Structures are given as C-alpha cells and as structure tokens.
Chains A and B, each alone.
Chain A
C-alpha cells in the first residue's frame, strides 16, 4: 500500500525536477560563468558588492512593509476569527477579493490614484490645496507592497487564531488573567506559527518584487528585483542577473531561517502555513 501511494507523488516530483531543480542548475551555471568566454568565474558573484545598497534598500523596504502588514493584519485577523461564522466567510471573501484581480492592474490603479495629476491630487487642487508628492518615493513603494501582500498576512493569521481552543482562554481567565494578560500569555504565543508564516509569505515576494517599484517608485528607489529584471531584458547580462538572483535567494533563506528559529525551539508545528 505504502509503495503504491508513493507513485502518486510521481508527477509532482517530475515537475519539480523539470521546473525547479534543473532551472536552479541553469541559474547556478550562468552565475558561475563569464558572459563572453563562458569560462568559470566568480566575478559575477563578486559583482554583487556594487549592488549592495540596492540589496539593503530592498530588504529594509520589505521589512518595513512586512511589519506594517503585521500591525494591520493581526487585529483584522483577530477580529474576523471572533466574528459569527457567516460574517467570517463574508469578510474572508472580501479579504481575498483583490487577489482575484490582476496584480498588474491593481498596481496601475494605485498609479492612477497617486500620480501628480492623479485622482487624489486633482481632488486636492480642485479644492484649492497644493498637490502632494504621493508617488515615486519609498512611501509609495511600501504602500504598494502592503496593499498587494496584506491578504497573505491576514489569512494565515486568521487560520491560526481561529483554531485556538477557546477553553484555553477560559483556563487563563480562570487562573487570574484579565483580557490583556490572556492575549499576552495565551493568544499571542499560540498565534506565533501564523505570524511566522504570514511574515514569510509577505516578506519573500516583497523583497524580490520589481513591478511595484517600477510603477510606484523612482529611479532612485529601484529594488534588486528591478536590477535582476534589467539584466535579462535591457542590459542583457544574464550571468550577472543569475548571480544576483542567487545572492537574493541565499539572503531570503537566511531571513526565513532566522524567523523559523524563533519558533522551532518551543513548537514543532511552527511550519504551519496556509
């Protein structure tokens, strides 16, 4: 029986080999070869030092956006988890609704809102106020990230908070906790798995994004995703692009690893995701 069920995972294993492992090998090959001669070199990887400020900006903007998502998302998830089931389903659907609309379209919609001659500024000037610099700055990029990735924070948090056994809350009250202490001693620690997967699911796509920064940022706020994209499209240096992707991947692994370390120590179920 066991041997048979193993074969069922066959198609996916094949898929993974074809479209994950082999491409990863190709990336590795490009990253370690010279763009002209095709010989082995570490210069592409060494080159990443030139892009270090961009790496750092990508990371801190993403961390910032992730924290905002957490601050906004946790209360929302907590609220939904304590609603009546019918309302829960409705709110859950509303949270997911934007995800059904194209990512590109949503970002372009923000451009239309924030532009110097966009909807908001037109409104401001029409009532006699001066226009605000709403777009092409770090704030706009963070806004774009928060807006696009917030559902990925709320949903895992909601799932975990909803599953917390209400009797544990009562047990804490029974042992002398007021509502603030119940939250600090029971609800929050038990929602750590949701926090970790929420952070991962927001941070990873945010740090590698390029479209948001292209549309809402300025040339001064380009992210590492933009640089990598341009190596394949504009500058045509796939070797450098591959090297940068590789570095980014390692950085993401390190970040996620650090985060999981927080929960591994006290809970084996910390890798719970959606």
Chain B
C-alpha cells in the first residue's frame, strides 16, 4: 500500500578524510514517520542534510520518487526542513516568515493569505500574525518554524531535533501535536533525535545509527524487544547484557545455568550476548530464584525503584515497584520471553554492566548530549 518515496543507496559522506556516513542504505515510504535515532556525532543530522540537499554525498545515490537527486539543489527539492533552533528570519514577523516560501513560489496574495491563515490555525498561533519572531517563546517559535515549512505542502518534512530546546512538558505536547499534524496532512516526516523515548512514541519506523552506520531499522516495538546488538539494546531503554553460550535452539547458558528462551537459529555453542530488560525481571525470595544476589543500591524513581543487585560480581539493574532494602538477599526468576539473545558484535562487552551505576547517570548522559553535533 505505502509507496517508496526516498531511497539512499551506499551513501558515503567524508569530511577531510573522516568518514561521517558509511554506506547508508535506507528507503523511506510515502506518508511514513521515520526517525533517525542515535547519539551525537552518529551521522543522523548529516543524513538529514544530504536528503535536504545541503550536503552532496561523497559517493552513493539519493533517489526521490525513483529519480536521482544528488545534484538537485535544496531550493528545487519538494522537501522542507524544520531546523534545529528554528532559524526563523528575525527581520520578518510571524506572518511573513510563514508566507516566505509561498512568496518565493509567486502565489497570489489571496492564496497566500488563505494558506497562512489556515496554517496559523493548525499550529494554534492565530492572532500572532504581526508579532516579531524574536518576541515569541521557544514553543511558539517552534510552531512558526513548523508552519513555515508545512505551508509549502512539501512531500517530505525534515525535522532536525525540533523539540530539543523545549522543556519536558511542552515537548510531550508537541510530540502529540506533530504526530497529529503528520497524520492529518499525510506528509512523510523524517525526524532526527537523540531521545529514544521521543522516537519510540512518535515513529512508524526507527533507524538506529552509531558511528556513521545504521545499526538497526525497524518498528518501535521490534527495536525495543529485538535489539540487534549491544549498542541498540543499551541505547533504547536500559538493558542488562551478559555473556552467554547458545547450546542449541531455545537453550542458552549463562551464569553456569541453562535457561530456556524463545530464540533459535544460532550455531551450536555460539557465544552470544544475552539481553534482559530491567523491568522484565521478577523478584522472588532467595530460595525460589533462578539466581540469587545481594541488593547494593536502591534509588527511588517515582514509578519504580532502580535496584542494583550483585550476582557473583556482575551487577544488574532491576526496575521494580517492590522495595527491597539495601543489603537484602533476593532471588530472581526469568521467563523464556524475558531473555533475548543477540549475536556478538563490535559492541559486545561495552554496555549493559551496571557496576558503575550511579543515580546521577541520567543527568550525566543528558549533559553530554546537549553539547550537540555540528
């Protein structure tokens, strides 16, 4: 039903000999909400800029509706962009900012007026026509930027971390708003973010990127439930990642014990990464558990407790609503569907150990992210 609109084939981008994008292959369907997700410097913004026409790839092709558009300049593409930090024209008021693209396209003033008014309504900025853009709040500027792009009725809208500068509450509202607009107008959205929760909430398809490569493409549920490697497992949500050996189909061994699982298709005795999501673990009394360990730290997170449990020197993160005091001896049970098996990758051993866990972990990670690419 859905038709392919954009295709990237073997896309390579190099700056000063440094490889920023490494053979990106990706197709994007019409009317799809696709998110490029990854940490700073993973190449997601570069990919977006190649699609927008602001960068020419070193090699590889960009196809739009089956036609190669590598050499088509940005202004001739049926694509519009919502820029990071908006890039509104400071010398124009709200109305003229939104009307900018239509005036360039030389539409009649009557039609411009009709479309701008309609757009102002969609982004709930009626009555702000003659306000200076510099006098608007971040959220309002954001809406102007979206209106300015959408008023041109592009086939594709590119959004580069559009909600990054907004506070949490506003961000949540705008997420719903954007999804609603996308569905109402039937436009393809290509969305860049480092916020995994945002990606999971809004997308039809998520493309996880790191080090200039695509790590995994899939629906939000698939990305979360079936991560392809340790990087994806760690970047999307929290994960405990352990070394294991796949004895045969549906049988995996780790911590010296054989567990049944739902994965198959691995070579006999293949070393694997075992992912266990912290919220999937059931806490039981020590004598009933598959494994027993000692609680080393408990952090209250609102909905749940982040409980760090030491199993034979390897620390797990367990998210539970049951409070287990520090020092208590507990057991855990794992159901077959809680265990996810991944092939070993270059990321094996880099993630999923909570030995150095601290309660400030999240804030530290965020601070790193705000330093930004570019």
Q: Give me the interface of A with B, judged by CB distance under 8 Å.
A: 165, 167-168, 170-178, 181, 185-186, 189-190, 192, 266-267
Contact = CB atoms under 8 A, between A and B. Distances in A.
A176 B152 CA distance: 10
Contacts of A185: 100, 104
A189 B90 CA distance: 10
Contacts of A186: 89
Give the bracket for the number of chain B residues in contact with chain A. 20 to 34
A174 B74 contact: yes
A173 B87 CA distance: 12
A192 B87 CA distance: 19
Contact of B148 (A175, A190, A267): A175
Given A170-B74, A170-B83, A171-B83, A176 B104 contact: yes
23 contacts: A167-B83, A167-B84, A167-B85, A167-B87, A168-B87, A168-B90, A171-B81, A171-B88, A173-B53, A174-B79, A174-B81, A174-B149, A175-B75, A175-B100, A175-B149, A175-B152, A176-B75, A176-B101, A178-B75, A181-B104, A185-B104, A189-B91, A192-B91
B73 A266 contact: no
Contacts, number: 62
A171 B54 CA distance: 10
A212 to B, nearest CB: 36
Contacts of B1: none
Contacts of B79: 174
Contacts of A266: 91
Contacts of B100: 172, 175, 185
B44 to A, nearest CB: 17
A175 B101 contact: yes
Nearest to B145: A171
Given A176-B105, A185-B104, A171 B87 contact: yes
Given A168-B89, A175-B149, A176-B104, 12 more contacts: A167-B85, A171-B83, A171-B89, A172-B89, A173-B54, A175-B75, A176-B105, A185-B100, A186-B89, A189-B91, A192-B91, A267-B91
Contact of A165 (B52, B87, B104): B87
Interface string B254-284: 0000000000000000000000000000000
B45 interface: no
Interface in B127-169: 148-149, 152
